[in-house]
Amino acid sequence: MLQYFRRIKHLSLHTKIFILSIGSVLIAFITSIILATNNFNLQENFLKEKLLLVTQDLSKSIQEQYKWINETIE
């Protein structure tokens, strides 16, 4: 590892700036992928919660209608 640092030490300023800029672009790219994945997971969880609420409301409505039909038949 120290060999790489010694090699970088002898490079010109423009080359060092170029290496740092490539590194920062790679870090930004990886960070954006991680954030996009987390955002997708949050949206997926949000949609799952909404779907669960709609399913519960629908189930409750069906139960009320079934109860009303049974009361009407009796």
How confident is the model over 35-58, as pLDDT tens digits? 888 777 777 888 888 888 888 888
5 domain residue, yes or no? no
Tallying the residues shown for the chain, one arrives at: 74
68 domain residue, yes or no? yes
20 domain residue, yes or no? yes
2 domain residue, yes or no? no
61 domain residue, yes or no? yes
What pTM was computed for the model? 0.48
Q: What is the pLDDT of residue 14?
A: 81
The boundaries of the domain holding residue 51 are 13-73
| Separation CA 42–CA 23 (nearest Å) | 29
Number of domains making up the chain: 1
4 domain residue, yes or no? no
Per-residue burial over 33-42, b = 16 or more CB atoms within 10 Å of its CB, e = otherwise: eeeeeeeeee
Where does residue 43 fall: left (phi above 0), alpha (psi -120 to 50 degrees), or beta otherwise? alpha
